[in-house]
Amino acid sequence: MSEQNRKIVLDCLENLFVHKDFDAAKAALHPDFVTHSPGFPSGREAFTEAMKNSPLAGATAEVQRAVAEDDLVMVHLHVRSPGGEVAIVDILRVENGLLVEHWDVKQPV
């Protein structure tokens, strides 16, 4: 279960940051997706729309490490954008194959 959840999360992040395929990323989110990240709205539609219009839409991200335990997946990303470089740790909860909850911490590099 942990490895399957890790793959679901990494595929979603790849769609967001590498392919810029927001529809594919949206398909991985539960309709009632909850994010605890300040500045981003909860809900599948609202969250993906906000991501499309955020500075992160033009960013590239490199996964440094990903760790999964049961329904939680932690991903350490190195994000580069015109505004600079940021280290981000995303923690996502997966339920029935969909991302249902999200937390993050960010730090300038």
pLDDT, tens only, 4-23: 999 999 999 999 988 999 99
CA distance linking residue 90 with residue 50, whole number of Å: 17
Distances (CA, A) of 58 to 23, 53, 69: 16, 9, 30
CA distance linking residue 18 with residue 8, whole number of Å: 15
Give the mean pLDDT of 28-55.
95
Q: Number of folded domains in the chain?
A: 1
What is the span of the domain harbouring residue 33? Answer: 2-108
CA distance linking residue 94 with residue 8, whole number of Å: 8
Whole-model pTM: value is: 0.94
pLDDT, tens only, 47-81: 999 999 988 888 999 999 999 999 999 999 999 99
21-26 own/partner pairs: CB under 8 Å, 24+ apart: 22/48, 22/51, 22/52, 25/51
Domain at 38, CATH number: 3.10.450.50
